[in-house]
């Protein structure tokens, strides 16, 4: 990592004065694929690929960003740990040397639009302040795991770039909306379709007047919220602190003080629930289990009818070939704060932990999750085939619930939300 002088950072990294108490969402000089390679470079998250699809991408598409994050494929060898970090950097440098990637000459904001079969959303890719994360201007609603924070911090330090934006959300803003809509009337820098019937488009905002307008609008916002990417935010904050301590010429304007983010308005955010699947009833018979649930829930057997909750604090359960509705008995249950009203918390506190004996939602191998993008048919199928004993579903959380929990410095249980959009990797890269 090369530390820039104060003069270099003022002129080259961010051309605007940085005021400590203002929310800092800044333009940056992205490294990105040239126009002809964009659709070939862009990839989904590595974990999103099945083995066969991943192999096909690596074998038949030499431009895929997957070659960078899976550098061992070049040698037909699995590589882990810090050795992998160094090879990721090497593959990245090769893409730059081969002119697949280039860096913009001036800082820009980037409008990124995703059109799916169901909906479309657009937002701004920009550099968010690690300091804002540290002083709770960028607010979080999930716990992070310390060793994962450290691991990703070390990864960032070695590779020197960030390609997975943190998803941040802010209240709808008329000025920003109008500016984005006007810019999107012009031809995009990139526009390509993917095999899952999505269209991805990207525009540059590179004129000084509109850059100043966007920067000024974000400075008026007292807080913005992490929708997805809590570990990435925490790791970037750790990297910023560590880099500051080791840089005697630290100014606060260095690139390591920021992390790449995708900012979308709250109306563009799509929130889904996670259903819970449990492998056994913790030693209870079906009858004993239902009696235990009766203390906190009004239970109705729906038979073979696929039941979907229609209200908050209503749950669906699939057990022994039948669906049940579970309505929380509010005369018994006491709401004490915003977290206590969250359905995933209620399910954990009144069923998963006390009745089914599942305390560690991240690591207990008796529980699995299906995100709400998938149908209840999958939940039913996985119970019917004997893989699991019981499944639970609920309505998705609402953005106001998430914000209130963050404002109260509380944290949601793991797998409380599945949030879209999910961005492609490799279209914009933030170097530090």
**pLDDT for the residue 2:** 35
Residues 265 and 286 in one domain: no
Count of domains in the chain?
A: 2
Q: What is the pLDDT of residues 314-354, one digit of tens each?
A: 999 999 999 999 999 999 899 999 999 999 999 999 999 99
Distance CA 237, CA 131 (A): 7
Residues 253 and 298 in one domain: no
Residues 175 and 248 in one domain: yes
Residues 34 and 152 in one domain: yes
Distance CA 204, CA 124 (A): 10
Determine the distance from the C-alpha atom of residue 105 to the mean position of all C-alpha atoms in its chain, rounded to a whole number: 29
**pLDDT for the residue 9:** 36
Distance CA 276, CA 174 (A): 39
- Whether 43 and 425 have beta carbons less than 8 Å apart is answered as yes
Orientation angle between helical segments 208-219 and 174-183, nearest 10 degrees? 150
342 assigned to some structural domain: yes
112 assigned to some structural domain: yes
Structure-block tokens of residue 395: 């309505």
Residues 197 and 254 in one domain: yes
- Whether 315 and 297 have beta carbons less than 8 Å apart is answered as yes
154 assigned to some structural domain: yes
57 assigned to some structural domain: yes
**pLDDT for the residue 5:** 31
Q: How much is the pTM?
A: 0.90
**pLDDT for the residue 255:** 96
226 assigned to some structural domain: yes
- Whether 149 and 231 have beta carbons less than 8 Å apart is answered as yes
Residues 250 and 395 in one domain: no
Residues 369 and 249 in one domain: no
- CA dihedral in degrees (174, 178, 181, 187; nearest 10)? -150
Average pLDDT, the chain: 92
Residues 180 and 297 in one domain: no
Residue 255's nearest CA partner among 47, 89, 9 is 9
Residues 228 and 361 in one domain: no
**pLDDT for the residue 18:** 53
Residues 260 and 309 in one domain: no
Distance CA 299, CA 296 (A): 9
With a cut of 70, which residues of the chain have pLDDT below it? 1-20, 76-77, 80, 374
Domain of 329 in residue numbering reads as: 274-416
Residues 346 and 361 in one domain: yes
**pLDDT for the residue 375:** 76
385 assigned to some structural domain: yes
The CATH number for 315's domain is 3.30.1760
Distance CA 308, CA 322 (A): 13
1 assigned to some structural domain: no
Residues 134 and 171 in one domain: yes
131 assigned to some structural domain: yes
């Amino acid at each position: 990592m090369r530390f820039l002088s104060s003069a270099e950072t003022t002129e080259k990294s961010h051309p605007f004065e940085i005021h400590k108490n203002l929310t800092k969402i800044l333009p940056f000089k992205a490294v990105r694929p040239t126009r002809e390679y964009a659709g070939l470079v862009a990839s989904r998250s590595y974990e999103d690929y099945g083995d066969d699809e991943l192999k096909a991408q690596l074998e038949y598409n030499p431009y895929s960003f997957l070659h960078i994050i899976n550098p061992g494929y070049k040698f037909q060898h699995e590589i882990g740990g810090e050795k992998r970090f160094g090879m990721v950097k090497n593959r990245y440098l090769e893409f730059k040397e081969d002119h697949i990637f280039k860096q913009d000459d001036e800082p820009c904001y980037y409008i990124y639009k995703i059109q799916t079969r169901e909906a479309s959303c657009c937002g701004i890719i920009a550099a968010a302040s690690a300091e804002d994360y540290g002083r709770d201007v960028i607010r979080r609603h999930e716990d992070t795991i310390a060793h994962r924070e450290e691991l990703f911090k070390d990864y960032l330090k070695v590779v020197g770039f960030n390609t997975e934006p943190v998803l941040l959300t802010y209240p709808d803003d008329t000025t920003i909306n109008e500016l984005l809509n006007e810019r999107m009337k012009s031809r995009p820098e990139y526009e390509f379709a993917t095999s899952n019937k999505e269209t991805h488009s990207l525009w540059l905002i590179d004129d000084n007047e509109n850059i100043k307008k966007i920067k000024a609008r974000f400075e008026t916002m007292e807080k913005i919220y992490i929708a997805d990417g809590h570990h990435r935010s925490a790791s970037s904050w750790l990297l910023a602190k560590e880099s500051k301590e080791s840089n005697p010429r630290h100014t606060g304007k260095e690139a390591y003080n920021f992390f790449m983010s995708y900012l979308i308005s709250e109306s563009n955010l799509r929130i889904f629930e996670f259903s819970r699947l449990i492998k056994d009833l913790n030693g209870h018979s079906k009858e004993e289990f239902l009696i235990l649930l009766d203390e906190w829930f009004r239970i109705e057997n729906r038979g073979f009818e696929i039941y979907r909750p229609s209200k908050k604090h209503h749950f669906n359960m699939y057990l022994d070939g039948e669906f049940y509705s579970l309505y929380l008995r509010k005369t018994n249950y006491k709401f004490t704060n915003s977290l206590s009203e969250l359905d995933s918390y209620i399910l954990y506190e009144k069923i998963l932990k006390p009745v089914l004996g599942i305390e560690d939602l991240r690591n207990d191998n008796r529980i699995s999750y299906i995100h709400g993008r998938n149908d209840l048919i999958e939940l039913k199928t996985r119970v019917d085939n004997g893989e699991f004993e019981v499944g639970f579903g609920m309505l998705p959380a609402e953005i106001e619930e998430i914000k209130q929990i963050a404002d109260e410095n509380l944290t949601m249980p793991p797998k409380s939300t599945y949030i879209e959009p999910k961005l492609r990797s490799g279209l914009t890269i933030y170097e530090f």
